[in-house]
Structure 1
Amino acid sequence: MQAVLEAESFCDIVREHARLQGSTTAFTYGDETISFAELNEGSNRVAHGLEALGVKKGERVSFLGKNHPLYFEALLGAAKIGAVMTPVNWRLAAPEVAYILADCEARVVFVGEGFADVLTKVRPDTPLVEQVIGIDAPDHAGTDYRTWRDGFPAIPVSANVGLDDDALQLYTSGTTGRPKGAVMTNRSILSSRNAADQDEMRKWQEPKEGDVTLLAMPCFHISGTGTGIGTMVAGTNSIVLPEYDPTKALDLIENYNISKIFLVPAAIQILLNHPRISEVDFSRLQYITYGASPIPLELMKQAMEVLGCGFVQMYGMTETSGTIVALDPEDHKPEGSPKMRSVGTPMPGVELKIIDQDGNELPVGTVGEIATRSSKNMSRYWNKPEATTETIDEDGWLRTGDAGYLDDDGYLYIHDRVKDMIISGGENVYPAEVENALYAHPKIADVAVIGIPSEKWGEEVKACVVLKAGEALSEAEIIAHAREHIAGYKCPKSVDFIEALPRNPSGKILRRELRAPYWEGKDRAVN
């Protein structure tokens, strides 16, 4: 697959697969299949269509909907003219959707089934949106994607797109309550998924003829879009689920001989608890890759016993275009081992170091902030130069916001978080975002949000609330209020009513004091 080494964008690789193995299936969705030749031609039509709408290189287009193979066709079409796909988390509340569409300045939005009403609701707050195109969306009365696409030629577009051009923009939760758009280039995407570096690839990374990947994680995350781009680069088939459904996942594993899956630990647990789990034949399943949060050792042992495949733990973030550290199957021991407490060793080309608050490198075994440098790193935060400078220094080192340490063998251990982020079911939640929503309630005087351990989700959101004098408010009322302003997964699962929040002399909330009782007895402060 020498063509990958010479590629200037991931679009070049799809073109090459279309030339060499055009009839090979790229995506499967229900009864529908899309070959690499069809994917290439369809994305050519999209590229011409976007140009006809006036979309130019460097501009953003958006997608609001559940997973769909035509999302990847639209992503490719945009990338072929140097435009940048910006998928929006469909689980967000309308004000959050409006913010992202306005922030990325998208003039064209692709909408999936079930989300036309959301777009209608936010249109007054998104004046830049000029065109909405429905992908298999009967609830959308405007332009139909397939009809629109097929009105343009399938011939290649003529555009100058290079490795350092923007290619994808994914939004991450922000410490100040506003999400930030992490901008990935063709270089960072290909560095994470370059199938040509065979000599450096780990065995579980190697693409094999006949590989079938289950794409079950959401495409508004790097886990979903990254999986789809990865299989396009590898030239293999992705079976696309609109959203994670354990019953459908088990059916697809049986019926399509699924060989690879990426899941978050909560999804693995849900799969193992399914009543059909003992009836399913997993013999064709080669690897389950997992990440976004740690996995309990007992759950890992159960998964290894029941599923019988290789497991790979991945550590990375949107800002690193996905995985930068991995714990190989060989390090997963059923009886457990110290290395299983780690997230593994750096991927090829990835540098790691542990630093103190001033950026000084710390010795082996010392806990500090994890910093990384590689071509996988994002180029910047969209329209946020100060946030970019705070995250990436002049030498290209990116601060992850996670606290950890390295051992003598180069294995990375996650100890805590430098930032206050909560990871619940693989979703990032920043306390400030939740607190801003709760502060809007007229009866709340003060509030702090923390993450506490959860058997099902890894962590869950808890609000510590101080009510105004003489006011009364129930836990249910607070949670209901939050749901009006933010996505359901960000809302508190429980509320503690307290008289005052603990603060230091400068007034900063001491979250560790609030968290401490819930994490007592645990050897790390992430679950």
Structure 2
Amino acid sequence: MTGTRPAAVAARTGDPLPDRAVGEQLRAQAAARADRPALAWAAGDDPEAPRSLTYRELLRAAEVAAAGIARRARPGARVAVWAANGPEWVIVEHACALAGTVLVPLNTAWTDDEVAHALALTSPSLLFVGFDNRGVDLRARAAGLAGPSRGCDVVDLATVATRPPPVSFDPPDVRPHDPFLIQFTSGTTGRAKGATLSHRAALSAGHLRALTVHADERDVWLNPVPLHHVGGSVVMLLAALASGGCYVAMSRFHPATQVALMRATGATRTGGVPTMFYALLDTPGFDRALAAVRSVGLGGTSVPPSLVERLQAHGATVSVAYAQSECPMITQSDPAGDALHVATTVGVTVPHTDLRIVDPDGHVVGRGEVGEVCVRSPLTMIGYWDMPDATDQVLDVDGFLHTGDLGSLDDQGVLRIHGRAREVIIRGGENVYPIEVEDFLLRHPAVDAVAVLAAPSERWGEDVAAVVRLSAPGAATAGDLTAFAATGLAHFKVPRHWRFVETFPLTASGKIRKTELLSLFSPHD
């Protein structure tokens, strides 16, 4: 890089980050705000009649659950949760923090093979299980995948009491730098990796989220994002905890239910992916519910300016955050920015964050030039659980996380994302890595070669698309391959668009030129 200003920004120090464990933060809030609401949810799935726990009551429920966990798992052991959002899920998260165990959220859309891989990698002592977000019971599947014979006790999440009697619980010494949560994220190898976050990193992510939107104890955070995502279990939930606000748990996203619950709880903060807000904007009563909302956070995929404009027309303050499972807060767009700024940038770095854009050789590029986004922050993961080689590939000797995302910095230090070096497809907030889908489709006897890529989608941001060369003309149909993919891939990874070709455009080294295949798809497919 010569003759231009370097594409790098040094960390803004700001106020000190919370140097405490998550359980210590819960106890501090229970002491300072004992009778303020901490957790709310729809009782019996009736959004018009929400129930709630105060901070004192939430601490009690977490201590009771922690005592039960401590009888079966020592500090440092892993405790998995495989269920849709709910108050019991939240209580178990806090209970793990108090007991010093490491929380392992599992995606409810995963297949048995995907769950088995996560369990084998993390070896949890306990697996709390319930229903998925469609209401399907996961307990029988969990019993077949885990159990005492595999060193893991399966526990019905419904047995976790929201209002238990007090117990005597002597908490272990949990330090801020101890592991708190293992967040699964796919990799270019096609197998899920577990990004391990410390207590300090996770709590600081919540603290910075609350700080960037000027949140306080009056706020009510309604979360339609699954708690098995870092945006749910870390950013939203711990933002409420850090600022002393109330977190609202929804079992699944349903626009009419969310509107009713927003009004019943007086929600002031909400967030999600664009597809959720398209549905909400078409739901009667959303404009009235939105009137009480102080900020809307968008993320997880590309954000159309037209969506931002529609939300702003209703008086909403809208911002976009950029983060990864490996570092759950990196940048935040200006909540006061216009629709174009919010939709086309991800803003500036949050405090305590160094960021630079580098070329393939690791040299910092110039402002306006595109390169890989690298970040160094107290929020960065400890590493991938039990994957030291994979960790070394993304964390360099200077402590920078190589995100795999392509971006550029302008002269004001505003970050724009230009794509993903690792080809991840982000469909409605779910990460899909093409190589995983390609490897599975290649198991089909009729598939000779395949390229999986992101097709533009007005509703989902990006959709999974596949271009296939068959072993013989007519050897399989799109329906055949869709059904086959569904047998081994989570539903959001199954291609929705198919094209069949006789030959692929290739590079000199024989690799498929995926960029030349994009013309086969349009946003209206």
Q: TM-score, normalised by structure 1?
A: 0.89
Cα distance change of structure 1 residues 127 and 496 upon mapping to structure 2, 3 Å threshold: farther
Question: Aligned equivalents of 1:215 and 1:87: distance in 2?
Answer: 16
User: Which aligned pairs between 1:202-351 and structure 2 lie closer than 5 A?
Assistant: 202=212, 204=213, 206-226=214-234, 227-277=236-286, 280-306=288-314, 308-320=315-327, 322-333=328-339, 336=340, 340-351=343-354
User: Structure 1 residue 507 and structure 2 residue 514: aligned?
Assistant: no
Q: Quote the offset at 1:83 in angstroms.
A: 1.0
Question: Aligned equivalents of 1:127 and 1:391: distance in 2?
Answer: 35
Alignment counterpart, residue 457 of structure 1, candidates 451, 460, 465: 460
User: Structure 1 residue 24 and structure 2 residue 36: aligned?
Assistant: yes
Q: Number of residues paired by the alignment? A: 495
SS at match of 1:331: coil
User: Structure 1 residue 64 and structure 2 residue 82: aligned?
Assistant: yes
User: Structure 1 residue 83 and structure 2 residue 83: aligned?
Assistant: no
Cα distance change of structure 1 residues 58 and 516 upon mapping to structure 2, 3 Å threshold: farther
User: Which aligned pairs between 1:3-14 and structure 2 lie closer than 5 A?
Assistant: 7-14=19-26
Counterpart contact for 2:320–2:343, Cα < 8 Å = no
Aligned residue identity for 2:157 = I
Question: Aligned equivalents of 2:23 and 2:207: distance in 1?
Answer: 13
Question: Aligned equivalents of 2:122 and 2:56: distance in 1?
Answer: 31
Aligned residue identity for 2:171 = S
Q: Quote the offset at 1:130 in angstroms.
A: 2.8
1:116 corresponds to: 139
SS at match of 2:379: coil
Alpha-carbon deviations, 1:246-294, whole Å to 9, x = none?
111111222221100011111111211335545x343211110111112
Question: Aligned equivalents of 1:461 and 1:283: distance in 2?
Answer: 35
Alpha-carbon deviations, 1:81-119, whole Å to 9, x = none?
321000100011121112112211112100113211321
Alignment counterpart, residue 484 of structure 2, candidates 478, 481, 504: 481
Alpha-carbon deviations, 1:287-310, whole Å to 9, x = none?
10111112111121112113x111
Cα distance change of structure 1 residues 59 and 501 upon mapping to structure 2, 3 Å threshold: farther
1:163 corresponds to: 176
Alpha-carbon deviations, 1:330-384, whole Å to 9, x = none?
1124xx45x7521101001111110011111111111001111110111100111
Q: Quote the offset at 1:486 in angstroms.
A: 0.7
Cα distance change of structure 1 residues 341 and 145 upon mapping to structure 2, 3 Å threshold: closer
Q: Quote the offset at 1:244 in angstroms.
A: 1.2
Question: Aligned equivalents of 1:379 and 1:268: distance in 2?
Answer: 34
Counterpart contact for 1:47–1:157, Cα < 8 Å = no
Question: Aligned equivalents of 1:127 and 1:475: distance in 2?
Answer: 41
Question: Aligned equivalents of 1:211 and 1:325: distance in 2?
Answer: 22
Alignment counterpart, residue 40 of structure 1, candidates 50, 55, 59: 59
Alpha-carbon deviations, 1:365-420, whole Å to 9, x = none?
11001111110111100111111111010111011111110000000011121111
2:445 corresponds to: 442
Counterpart contact for 1:102–1:128, Cα < 8 Å = no
SS at match of 2:175: coil
Aligned residue identity for 2:257 = K
Aligned residue identity for 2:193 = K
Q: Quote the offset at 1:7 in angstroms.
A: 4.6
Alignment counterpart, residue 145 of structure 1, candidates 122, 135, 160: 160
User: Structure 1 residue 132 and structure 2 residue 154: aligned?
Assistant: yes
Question: Aligned equivalents of 2:392 and 2:215: distance in 1?
Answer: 37
1:424 corresponds to: 427
Alpha-carbon deviations, 1:172-226, whole Å to 9, x = none?
112111010000001211222237x99xx43x2x233321111110001011112
Q: Quote the offset at 1:6 in angstroms.
A: 6.4
Q: TM-score, normalised by structure 2?
A: 0.89
Cα distance change of structure 1 residues 383 and 281 upon mapping to structure 2, 3 Å threshold: closer
- Percentage of matched positions with identical amino acids: 30
Question: Aligned equivalents of 2:466 and 2:69: distance in 1?
Answer: 45
Counterpart contact for 1:311–1:332, Cα < 8 Å = no
Aligned residue identity for 2:152 = E
Question: Aligned equivalents of 1:443 and 1:127: distance in 2?
Answer: 39
Cα distance change of structure 1 residues 20 and 155 upon mapping to structure 2, 3 Å threshold: farther
Question: Aligned equivalents of 1:295 and 1:96: distance in 2?
Answer: 29
SS at match of 1:154: coil
Cα distance change of structure 1 residues 45 and 313 upon mapping to structure 2, 3 Å threshold: same
Question: Aligned equivalents of 1:340 and 1:438: distance in 2?
Answer: 34
2:436 corresponds to: 433
Aligned residue identity for 1:16 = A
Question: Aligned equivalents of 1:479 and 1:519: distance in 2?
Answer: 20
Q: Quote the offset at 1:328 in angstroms.
A: 1.5
SS at match of 1:330: coil
Q: Quote the offset at 1:150 in angstroms.
A: 5.5
Alpha-carbon deviations, 1:9-39, whole Å to 9, x = none?
0111110111122122111111332221122
Question: Aligned equivalents of 1:277 and 1:5: distance in 2?
Answer: 35
Aligned residue identity for 2:143 = T
5+ long unaligned stretches in structure 1: 137-143, 521-527
Q: Quote the offset at 1:460 in angstroms.
A: 0.4
Counterpart contact for 1:42–1:154, Cα < 8 Å = no
Q: Quote the offset at 1:447 in angstroms.
A: 1.2
Counterpart contact for 1:92–1:486, Cα < 8 Å = yes
5+ long unaligned stretches in structure 2: 1-15, 44-50, 132-136
Counterpart contact for 1:344–1:411, Cα < 8 Å = yes
Moved more, 269-278 or 286-295: 269-278
Counterpart contact for 1:95–1:122, Cα < 8 Å = no
SS at match of 2:150: coil
Counterpart contact for 1:94–1:121, Cα < 8 Å = no
Q: Quote the offset at 1:155 in angstroms.
A: 3.0
Counterpart contact for 2:60–2:164, Cα < 8 Å = no
Aligned residue identity for 1:270 = A
SS at match of 2:233: helix
